[in-house]
Structure 1
Amino acid sequence: MRAGRPAWAGRNYTILTAAAVISGLGHSGALIATAFAVLGAGGSATDVGLVAAARTVPLIALVLVGGALADRLPRHRVMVAANALSALSQGAFALLVLTGEPRLWQMAALAALGGTGQAFFAPASEGMVLASVSGEHSGRAFAVFRMGMNGANIGGAALGGALIAAVGPGWVLAADAAAFACAGALRAFLDVSGVPPRTGGEGMVRALRDGWREVVSRPWLWSVVMQFSLVNAVIVAAEAVYGPLIAQARLGGPGPWGVALGAFGAGTVAGALLMTRYRPRRPLLTGSLCVFPLALPSAALAVPLSAGWLTVVMGLTGVSVEVFSVAWMTALHQEIPEEKFSRVSSYDWLGSLAGVPLATALAGPVQDAVGLRAALWGCAGVVVVLTAAVLAVPDVRRLARRAPDEVGGGAPDVVPPVAEGPAAG
């Protein structure tokens, strides 16, 4: 133990976690502030959606390039540059809101710059966090990291909402710009003396092709990425489009719905806390079993359950999501070579994001065609069917946690199906 830190939490890990908490506090509030800035400038709900889409599109389009770049250049430099771009774009957004009446195209352009920064930051970040600790402590370290991030997101959203009411969205956007600048400055002090130099000699296309080969050569990897390309899409459609409709018609309006979403956030913190102690023998099996509860919110809205029971369901779902997230990242860290980690992570990000814009665009037409309750039951069914299909992949069930000296991205360590008790222990 050093200065109150566990022995495994070294300087780099502490810097990365502190920077993530700072940027999370700013950014979660800024997402709310952006919507109110658009509305304050006379925009409609459609305009709010357009600005949100302007951020998402470059994130989807450039995340593979960001992953390849992070494996060719020092990852901490990619992260600092991405933070600088985000700070500049949010600072300009804040200046527009505070000094005049921003136009829709200006807000969309600045949101797109922020999405570009995220596209380069995200794969590099995932490659850095787990590289900062030994394999023995990777699961616990990532759980603590996620706990800090989730807590910052919850606190930042609450603080951001209060500040928007008190001083307006422009100042919240300015605070987000300052948070990005502070986080980038912290990451600039990462100690990379022990990291092998990256030459960046191979071309971008070849780097992306190598990353793709890493994905398709592992059935457990591409099956889960494909699963979440649809699971994430239907969950976002259910919670972003259908949830508010059910809340308005049956649950008492936005207040109870906001409480339920808050319970989900609290559940993610509880799940991360659980994973600081729990180290499943088969991380993918444990994580995949925890995907089944992601169907519960859609089912609860379809019934619909009362606001109180919906809050309980959302809290339990948050726990399940976090158990999966930590188990998934633990498996990636164990099986993927460090020098290719960001590229593989970028394909994971692409799969998770690619279907979301289409799903949210189709949510309304699907509801009109089959009805709201049927659409929600359909969302729940997609989660259950796809998760069952992934569990049919042998490597998902058998991939085992290895000893620290065996971690290095080799062939998966698949446990033979011998009689040894429950698999997910």
Structure 2
Amino acid sequence: MDDARAGLMTVGDQGVSPLRLPAFRRFLLAHLISAAGSAMAPVALAFAVIGQGGGAGSLGIVLTANTVPTVVFLLVGGVLADRMSRSRILFLGNLGAGAAQGAVAVLVATGAATTASISVCACVSGVSSAFTAPAAQGVASRLVPPGQLQQANALVRVPRNAVKVIGPVIGGFVVALAGPAWALGWDALTFVVAALLLSALRLPGAVSPGGSGGLVADLRQGWAGFKSRVWLWSYTVAGTAVVAAWLAGYQLLGPIVAARSYAGAGSWGLVQGAFSAGLLAGTFVCLLWKPQRLVLVSVVTSSGLFLPLAAMGLGLPLLWVLGAAAVAGAGTDVAIVAWSTAMQQQVPDQELGRLNAFNSLGEQIAIPVGYLVVAATSAYWSGGHILLVCSAVILAAGVANACVRDVHRIRRA
């Protein structure tokens, strides 16, 4: 009787669509609205820095100021995600990010923006991300049945990726025609609206009170769980190199190379749009394909990030760069959905915030170093040469991680 009941529960989980759940729809809508602004933000921020006379060095400082607070506060955010209401954390985090982007928009619109002032606002936004990222990873497992986790993870990314397809293109032309302040102001508004939607989100399930030893004890328990899972820490170590090389090459050098070798903001918006189109295609792949070896699939597909960096580094025509960006985007989204599903299935809910925080910390800790190294070497090496080095780092890290035996062992629950 117990076996039959378990079978019925599994069938029931598989038959329930996440879209039929009101709380999940609210969470989905908040993601869509936030993405409608965030899709334009990278183009606007890059050309806001360039517009006030900055180059690779100034943009590197701004991006570093955004990343360092995230790294510093990420573990605290992971503990709070396991202790407090995740919907409240998401509300406050989005509100803080909206305030930071609004301040940047005002500074740029009034002509008062400097590298220092933009960096301060980027720092506030980075602190917000440190608290919202671990909390967001644990929402789907509270809202949908276990059998629908991959579908839910993919559905959350459908509207975000759909907006990202046209958002960067629109953002590029908005920046070119009206200036970056308008795109940054729109981003701020969408953060505030998303925060209001998330404030009314009620997540089922009890919140873990944490250990009696407080923050330090919770972190020790989380670290013990993290290092006991070889597939988790090996993926994190490889991700340290992959994420740093990708963001330093794509986010920092990408706009600079586009301004010098292609057609400026418009062409860079097209590249980001192609990457987002790939993300959307990857999302639909995840709705249809349920691979068994989730971690291995994530390792292999994320390695495709080397393609657009190599294309730009070699100075290939824009059409080739767009194709490479689309392929990389598709692989990235498959990797994200597969990894999120693996984490939600393999890690208990009461540890999910902390282990996600350790994973994110490991992947992001080298990003400031990558930004600063690229900014410094740009004075001696051409942007093309640096992009080729970044692409080689990504490919080498992926191959090394695929050789870890435990990565092959983790299968879909």
* TM-score category (smaller protein): 0.7 to 0.9
Unaligned runs of 5+ in 1: 403-425
Structure 1 equivalent of residue 140 of structure 2:
129
Say if 2:270 is the partner of 1:259: yes
Amino acid of the structure 1 residue aligned with 2:292? R
Deviation readout 1:255-307 (Å, 9 max, x if unpaired): 55543332111101100111011101111122222234233233334444333
Count of aligned residue pairs for this structure pair: 396
Which residue in 1 is equivalent to 2:208?
198
Out of 79, 100, 107, the residue aligned to residue 89 of structure 1 is 100
Query: Which is helix-richer, 1 or 2?
Result: 2
1:63 aligned partner: 74
Which residue of 1 is the match for residue 6 of structure 2? none
> TM-score, length-normalised on structure 1?
0.83
Q: 1:35 to 1:238 in 2, by over 3 A?
A: closer
Q: How far off is 1:218 after superposition?
A: 0.4
> Structure 2 residue aligned with 1:8, among 15, 18, 27?
18
Alignment of 1:141-290 (within 5 A): 141-165=152-176, 167-192=178-203, 194-200=204-210, 202=212, 203-240=214-251, 243=254, 256-290=267-301
Given that residues 25 and 155 in structure 1 are in contact (C-alpha distance below 8 angstroms), is that contact kept between their aligned partners in structure 2?
no
Match of 1:111 among 84, 100, 122: 122
| Corresponding residue for residue 9 of structure 2 | none
Q: Identity over the aligned pairs, expressed in percent?
A: 32
Aligned twin of 2:360: 349
Note the residue ranges of structure 2 that are not aligned, 5 or more in a row.
Answer: 1-14
Q: Does the residue aligned with 2:248 lie in a helix, a strand or coil? A: helix
Q: In structure 1, how many angstroms separate the alpha carbons of the residues matched to 2:72 and 2:294?
A: 30
CA change 1:134–1:239 in 2 (3 A) is: same
**Compared with structure 1, are the counterparts of its residues 333 and 362 closer, same or farther at alpha carbon in structure 2 (3 Å cutoff)?**
same
Following the alignment from structure 2 to structure 1, what is the Cα–Cα distance between the partners of residues 228 and 255?
41
Work out whether residues 74 and 198 of structure 1, in 8 Å CA contact, stay in contact via their aligned partners in 2: no
How far off its partner does 1:396 sit?
0.8
Residue 124 of structure 1 and its aligned partner are, at CA, apart by 0.5
Q: 1:31-74 deviations in whole A, cap 9, x for unaligned?
A: 4334444555x442344443332222211211111111111111
**Closer, same or farther in 2 for the Cα pair 1:316/1:364, shift >3 Å?**
same
Structure 2 residue aligned with 1:53: 64
Partner SS state of residue 290, structure 1: helix
**Gap change, CA 1:390 and 1:109, over 3 Å in 2:** same
Does the 8 A contact of 2:17 with 2:148 survive in 1?
no
TM-score by length of 2: 0.85
How many Å separate the matches in 1 of 2:302 and 2:319? 22
- 1:366/1:131 CA distance change after superposition, 3 Å: same
Equivalent of residue 310 in structure 2, options 262, 284, 299: 299
After superposition, the CA RMSD in angstroms is: 2.9
Partner of 1:417: none
| Aligned CA distance change for structure 1 residues 210 and 155 (closer, same or farther; 3 Å) | farther
Question: Which residue identity is paired with 1:196?
Answer: A
| Separation of aligned partners in 2, 1:249 and 1:171 | 24
Whole-Å separation in 1 of the counterparts to 2:32 and 2:408 = 34
Task: Give the secondary structure class of the aligned counterpart of 2:288.
Answer: coil
Cα deviation for residue 249 of structure 1 reads: 6.8
Residues in 2 aligned to 1:211 and 1:131: alpha-carbon distance in whole angstroms:
20
Instruction: State the distance in 2 between where 1:163 and 1:376 align.
Output: 27
- One-letter amino acid matched to 1:29: M
